[in-house]
Structure 1
Amino acid sequence: MKIWQKVVGAGLLVLLAAYVLGGWYFGEHFHANTSFAGVDVSYLKEPEAQEKVQRALAERPLNVLEGERAWGTVTYQALGVEVEAAEALADLKQAQEGSSWLASFFGRSVLGVEAEAGEVVSLDFEQAKQALGEFEGFWQERVASEDAEIVFVEGEGYQIQADRLGTRLDEERLQAQLLEVVEAGASMVDLSASYQTAEVTQADEALTERLDQIQAATSMSIILQIAGYEEVITPEMISSWLIIDEVTGELYFDEALIYEYLGSLNEAYATYDDYRYFESTLQGGVQLVPGTLGWSIDRESELAWILEDLYAGESVVREPMIVGSGYNGSLDDIGSSYIEVDILNQTMFVYLEGELVLSTPVVTGQIGTTTVPGAYSIWNMETPSELVGYNPRTERDYVQPVQYWMGFDDTGQGIHDANWQPYFGGDAYLTNGSLGCVNTPPDVMPLVFEYAYMGMPVLVFE
């Protein structure tokens, strides 16, 4: 046999012996390049590896940062870190294939990085919080994150103010972050990743929808057409009425301010309880004292309508809700159709569309029960009817049938036929005057009743 063949054979025997010896050795030791929870356990037996892991983790420093601030260093042991190494190391050892020890010199075996939290490394969070609290001022003066919210910016209107990240730590996130860090065997942690986040972000769908509603409401207008005039509820006015609930973020409108605004419109336009100048048939210009004639904006009903318009967010043009009588689209609530009762001349006139259609003598109230002057309107019409009341002159109750009745005030005054009157006009009222009503000749009253209508002005003056 040649010498080189002998040398090669001897070398192969040495390699084989080394391979076998390595297999035997690594049957009891961890392969090369093996780490556990960030600790190198290469060439160690299980008990040795367990001891090294426990010691290394206990002494391992962790630099605690918070953004650009460095709080200091704390050990894993101070954080209450424990590693259940025995079972995991045994599993790792068992997973080693005897024939792969040689390949381990060229690779890396790691355990503890991929392990689920709590399976290998555990953390006493209360102890960890206490350890972090050793840094001076660590838990003090932390600011909570602020939710995104809708704000009013002068000159720009309502918009969403983005959520702002505070410095208050979310304990659940902090615990998870610390566990992840120590499980990976890291030497640094930035706790700003565990800040408490805002509950409502700038992209919150409900917040965006609310802003859309606000912008719709504050860009619309409501035009109220009142007695031939227009009053515009502008976007600026609507913005001043707007209320955003600080707790729920819900959109509201200040009903008291709207109600006050409607009151100002009544002061400007309403005719109820007004004195009026009137050009009478026989006396010329007279002043009518306030009576039941007159109208105003129904503030309660109109408030409800305005709120409905605002929440709908669409511009509208309409008349307001009116209460009372005499509203005809102008400030002249008498108009051109009315009944005129001239007490001085004991005469009643009926005008329709500006034309005098009837004139008749009447008998008004006797002294002591005089007919009360005022600007009134018809609120009740009956045929036939009964007059029921108390006569202060005779001190007796009465029931008097009549064929026609038209009530025009809230005290019982009205216009009706009076077949008991011997004559009408002149000074009849001085001796045979009524209890306040306007006594009308029976042959004329049917025509008066025909011309009249509910709400027709009745103007009584001396």
Structure 2
Amino acid sequence: MGKRKEITGKDNGKQKMWTIITVIIVFFAMAGYAGMSYYYSDRFFRGTTINGINCSGKTSEEAEQAVAKKAEDYLLEVKARNLKSQSINGKLIGYRYVSDGSISQYLDEQKPYKWVRGFWKKQNYTAKENMTYDKVKLKEQLEKLECVKKENQTAPEDAYVAYKDSKFEIVPETEGNTLDFNGAYQALSEAVAGKKRTIDLNSCPAVYVKAAVLKDDPDLKNSLEECQNLIRTKIVYIFGEETVTLEGDEIRKWLIFDERGKLQKNEDELRQCVAEYVAQLAATHDTVNTEREFCTTSGRTVQVYSSVYGWKIDQEKEIETIMQEMIAGVQINREPVYAMRANARGMNDIGSTYIEVDLSAQHLYYYQDGSIILESDIVSGDMQYAERQTPPGIFQLYYKKSPSVLKGKMLENGKYEYERPVTYWMPFNGGIGFHDASWQPYFGGNRFREGGGSHGCINLPADKAAELYNRIDESVPIVCFY
């Protein structure tokens, strides 16, 4: 058997010493761990970040301050239309952090004895950054921006209709950069409240004043169509063999444009131009209230005036018709709207069918298509009395009646100056007309000068009055002359 090793006193001493050292090490290790646990009882572990800020070893207050410092280091860049960007510093608007207690809560949830995990495991927290600011100061800072100053603002311009390159077109609106202050303030408030660091006012819908009329405005499109119709309009007036044309080139002269070519739409001015055009038409082609040459059967040429016969354009109705046709862009051949019409065109608008009453010769001729179909001696108004003389002129039949009673003025006693029954009555000028006159001893000659004339009427033999009554109608001109 081998020899047994004996434990000496020296060996026992060494063993005790290592035991004591181990105990001491463990004690200090535990004390250190406990101390670190205590240290991290009110501090964040190593490797802790809050909102991207390293908060290792920081108390909740220190972490709050670090987060607040970062949050309050705020600068808002403001981009404005057509101007350089400017910035609003958070300090100038009282921009500051308000704790909601979440950082303290994160610390409270931390287990201090697990502090050692921070050496190999990172902990990231996101705390809500509750910010507040002074709204009055924000408004003051907005007022200082260049984009708010009136001298830096350009008003928007409405889209409009213009005449360019021989056609009408819509010129689009321009934006301008006039700010709506309340809208701009609202946009800035939302940006600050949202912690945005850049705002482009151009992208905010309620910031800039917009043009009232945009290029796609329905009323503007209707206006464009009306303008296109105006210059598309072509009215060919027919005056017998003569024509007069009103078309786009003339109408365009009636429109008013500014220096940019913008149409200054003014219906009253346009109507006035139309009225002047129609007045010129009437001055050139109306024959009412004019004298015309008339070749008599006797060979004389006389000047005959009439205020009740001839061509007369109804100017008001013609103006309205043109206005409607221009709006519709009508192309049409037509006569003007007439208030009165004659039987023919030209210098003599009487035509070839008419009744000629030669008051000097005391003779009547009825022409039909240029041929005499009836003639008769007559007795006209008594030349010894101015009020009884038959007026010259051109007239037309009012109506005819058979039989009838001719009456003079009503006297104070209620009776008439005279009452004469006639078989054929054909008035054409007030109370003057053709009728049979059985009381006349003869017709023609100088009876009308010698006291045997009528009160202004044209007296006819009964058979001639009957024939005239059966032939005459309201369209036949009656030409009376001396």
The secondary structure found in structure 2 opposite 1:196 is coil
Deviates more, 1:270-279 or 1:180-189: 180-189
Q: Is the alpha carbon distance of 1:282 and 1:264 closer, same or farther for their aligned partners in structure 2, counting shifts above 3 Å?
A: same
Q: Is the alpha carbon distance of 1:25 and 1:382 closer, same or farther for their aligned partners in structure 2, counting shifts above 3 Å?
A: farther
Q: Distance in 1 between matches of 2:110 and 2:465?
A: 124
Cα RMSD of the aligned pairs, angstroms, is: 4.0
The question of whether the paired residues in 1 share the 8 Å contact of 2:95 and 2:133 is answered with: yes
Residue 73 of structure 1 deviates from its aligned partner by: 3.4
Q: Is the alpha carbon distance of 1:70 and 1:137 closer, same or farther for their aligned partners in structure 2, counting shifts above 3 Å?
A: closer
Q: Is the alpha carbon distance of 1:186 and 1:137 closer, same or farther for their aligned partners in structure 2, counting shifts above 3 Å?
A: closer
Residue 34 of structure 1 deviates from its aligned partner by: 5.4
Residue 86 of structure 1 deviates from its aligned partner by: 2.0
The question of whether the paired residues in 1 share the 8 Å contact of 2:77 and 2:86 is answered with: yes
Query: What is the match of residue 200 of structure 1?
Result: 213
Query: What is the match of residue 253 of structure 2?
Result: 240
1:212-231 alignment runs, 5 A limit = 212-231=225-244
| Pairing 1:415–2:434 present | yes
Unaligned runs of 5+ in 1: 1-16, 113-119
The question of whether the paired residues in 1 share the 8 Å contact of 2:80 and 2:147 is answered with: no
Count of residue pairs brought into register by the alignment:
420
The question of whether the paired residues in 2 share the 8 Å contact of 1:361 and 1:424 is answered with: yes
Query: What is the match of residue 476 of structure 2?
Result: 456
Unaligned runs of 5+ in 2: 1-32, 112-117, 258-262
The question of whether the paired residues in 2 share the 8 Å contact of 1:347 and 1:359 is answered with: yes
1:80-91 alignment runs, 5 A limit = 81=95, 86=100
The secondary structure found in structure 1 opposite 2:100 is helix
Matching residue within 175, 187, 205 for 1:165: 175
The secondary structure found in structure 2 opposite 1:239 is helix
Q: Is the alpha carbon distance of 1:111 and 1:174 closer, same or farther for their aligned partners in structure 2, counting shifts above 3 Å?
A: farther
Q: Is the alpha carbon distance of 1:49 and 1:251 closer, same or farther for their aligned partners in structure 2, counting shifts above 3 Å?
A: farther
Query: What is the match of residue 277 of structure 2?
Result: 261
Q: Distance in 1 between matches of 2:289 and 2:325?
A: 30
Residue 391 of structure 1 deviates from its aligned partner by: 9.3
| Pairing 1:338–2:354 present | yes
Q: Is the alpha carbon distance of 1:423 and 1:168 closer, same or farther for their aligned partners in structure 2, counting shifts above 3 Å?
A: same
1:7-18 alignment runs, 5 A limit = none
The question of whether the paired residues in 1 share the 8 Å contact of 2:131 and 2:193 is answered with: yes
Residue 400 of structure 1 deviates from its aligned partner by: 2.8
Deviates more, 1:185-194 or 1:215-224: 185-194
Residue 315 of structure 1 deviates from its aligned partner by: 1.9
Q: Is the alpha carbon distance of 1:198 and 1:280 closer, same or farther for their aligned partners in structure 2, counting shifts above 3 Å?
A: same
Residue 225 of structure 1 aligns with an amino acid whose one-letter code is: I
The question of whether the paired residues in 1 share the 8 Å contact of 2:42 and 2:60 is answered with: no
CA deviation vs aligned residue, 1:346-382 (integer Å, no higher than 9, x gap): 1111011111100111100111121111122223333
Residue 164 of structure 1 deviates from its aligned partner by: 0.9
Q: Distance in 2 between matches of 1:231 and 1:370?
A: 42
| Pairing 1:152–2:163 present | yes
Identity, % of aligned pairs? 25
Matching residue within 149, 158, 168 for 1:139: 149
The secondary structure found in structure 2 opposite 1:300 is helix
| Pairing 1:174–2:184 present | yes
Residue 402 of structure 1 deviates from its aligned partner by: 2.3
The secondary structure found in structure 2 opposite 1:86 is coil
Q: Is the alpha carbon distance of 1:350 and 1:203 closer, same or farther for their aligned partners in structure 2, counting shifts above 3 Å?
A: same
Q: Is the alpha carbon distance of 1:106 and 1:199 closer, same or farther for their aligned partners in structure 2, counting shifts above 3 Å?
A: farther
Q: Is the alpha carbon distance of 1:67 and 1:379 closer, same or farther for their aligned partners in structure 2, counting shifts above 3 Å?
A: same
The secondary structure found in structure 1 opposite 2:249 is helix
Q: Distance in 1 between matches of 2:353 and 2:325?
A: 35
| Pairing 1:379–2:376 present | no
CA deviation vs aligned residue, 1:148-184 (integer Å, no higher than 9, x gap): 122234x433321211111211335423432453355
The question of whether the paired residues in 1 share the 8 Å contact of 2:343 and 2:351 is answered with: no
The question of whether the paired residues in 2 share the 8 Å contact of 1:79 and 1:125 is answered with: yes
Q: Is the alpha carbon distance of 1:144 and 1:436 closer, same or farther for their aligned partners in structure 2, counting shifts above 3 Å?
A: same
Q: Name whichever structure is richer in strand by fraction.
A: 1
The question of whether the paired residues in 1 share the 8 Å contact of 2:293 and 2:302 is answered with: yes
Query: What is the match of residue 11 of structure 2?
Result: none
Residue 143 of structure 1 deviates from its aligned partner by: 2.2
| Pairing 1:405–2:456 present | no
Matching residue within 62, 72, 87 for 1:73: 87
The question of whether the paired residues in 1 share the 8 Å contact of 2:343 and 2:475 is answered with: no
Residue 354 of structure 1 aligns with an amino acid whose one-letter code is: G
Q: Distance in 1 between matches of 2:194 and 2:46?
A: 20
Matching residue within 364, 376, 381 for 2:380: 364
Residue 381 of structure 2 aligns with an amino acid whose one-letter code is: G
Residue 294 of structure 1 aligns with an amino acid whose one-letter code is: G
